[in-house]
Structure 1
Amino acid sequence: MTAVKALPYANDALKGIGAKTIEIHHDKLYAGYVNKRNEIEEALTGVDRSKANQIYSQMRGLKHEETFAANGQILHELYFGVMGGDGQPAGEVFDKIKEDFGSYASWEEDFKASGMCARGWVVLAYDPTDGRLHNFIGDAQNQGGVWGAFPVLPCDTYEHSYFIDYGSDRKAYLEAFMRNISWPEVNRRYLAAVNMALAKK
């Protein structure tokens, strides 16, 4: 069983992302993923595995929703954990971004464009298969991720992330998100991803 993680900052600590948005997003939506993940795991202990079927079965339904709930929990924890900063890029990840995208400005343009076309998430991730950073999109928690890649900077692009503050203006929300990035945390995640990838070789 998993538990809801507390925010590493106050609800009203972010610039351009209101306390009401954070309260609903964290305390209701994110907590809901955690609770449903636990509920699904409990249901799986008693499911009749002899009736598993790829067209429809209780087993299939639970296993499918397990990935949605688990990834919803994980991505939200990474998302909330990467905010609360001053938005000033620094560290080895900053150098890697410039190496892989040509410049920070080119990466930022691609990240925002990816955020505009994603239906659920845009994630800066380190892929150990090519040793590069990529901006991946996901239309749902369990769609679009690249297995084996390490997410270092996710941004939730579902409407619930910004509708209270910006209505349908996702572009303004993405600008606000960029101003709140904690680059020391992004750098910590990037270095951890590189070290884990090296340890597996």
Structure 2
Amino acid sequence: MPPFEEISARPLDPRLLQLSGISRASVEAHHRLYQGYVAKRNEILALLDGVDLQKANQVFSDVRALKLDLTFAIGGIKNHEIYFAHLGGGGGDPDGAFRVLVERDFGSVDAWRSDLRATAMAARGWAWTAYDRDEGRLFNYLGDAQNTFPVWNATPLVALDVYEHAYFLDYQTDRASYVDAFFENLDWDAVNGWIASYSIPS
């Protein structure tokens, strides 16, 4: 097995320090958490490089423990990179290709937003709007941890972090107000750019 390459956390976009309704302190703390996922990914892969594969066992083994925690670390990296990359915009209603998809698959922007808000309120960790390539449409999915409820062959386009770390400094237990603030800061150019780069038909 070739040696793994360490990765570095993406830098914090300065636009995220001036969000509406989400404080600089909250964003900086949140970004440090993401940096921790990157560090743990590197650490776990280094440990896996020397693990005894012959002792792999589903009840307990170093391989199982490290592989399980690797999915949590990498999930945390990917989820947060989407989250941070599509914040810093003017929010409001989506436009462009994403709006076309939303109106086609949910009937209206309001119906999509209401469904994603409810998904976020019901989730323990994440809510995503993703394009399901098998069904050829958008769905709103929830996840209760960084590494739970993946939907294969689906491309996330909106990633809403509803772990308490995302909003507790600003809203304590008022998750609903944080979700409203999230919508106010979305960058639709980023979302539409992903639709184009991933060749998602609209």
Q: What interval of TM-score do these two structures reach, taking the shorter chain for normalisation?
A: over 0.9
The letter for the 2-side match of 1:44 is L
The residue aligned with 1:84 is: 88
Match of 1:86, SS? coil
CA distance, structure 2, for counterparts of residue 80 and residue 30 of structure 1: 10
Q: Which moved more, 1:2-11 or 1:118-127?
A: 2-11
State TM-score, norm by structure 1. Answer: 0.94
Contact 1:36 1:69 in 2 (8 A): yes
1:190 aligns with 2:195: yes
Match of 1:194, SS? coil
Deviation at 1:144?
1.1
Aligned-residue identity in percent: 45
The residue aligned with 1:54 is: 58
Contact 1:97 1:107 in 2 (8 A): yes
Aligned 1:136-155 pairs, distance under 5 A: 136-155=141-160
State the Cα RMSD in Å.
1.1
Q: CA 1:119 to 1:91, structure 2 compared with 1: closer, same or farther past 3 Å?
A: same
CA distance, structure 1, for counterparts of residue 162 and residue 27 of structure 2: 14
The residue aligned with 2:112 is: 107
The residue aligned with 1:73 is: 77
The letter for the 2-side match of 1:66 is L
State TM-score, norm by structure 2. Answer: 0.94
Deviation at 1:192?
2.5
Equivalenced residues, count:
195
1:19 aligns with 2:24: yes
Contact 1:114 1:122 in 2 (8 A): yes
CA distance, structure 2, for counterparts of residue 83 and residue 62 of structure 1: 32
Deviation at 1:190?
2.1
Residues 31-56 of structure 1: per-residue CA shift (max 9 Å, x gap): 00000000001000000000000111
The residue aligned with 1:94 is: 99
Runs of 4+ in structure 1 over 6 Å off: none
The letter for the 2-side match of 1:38 is N
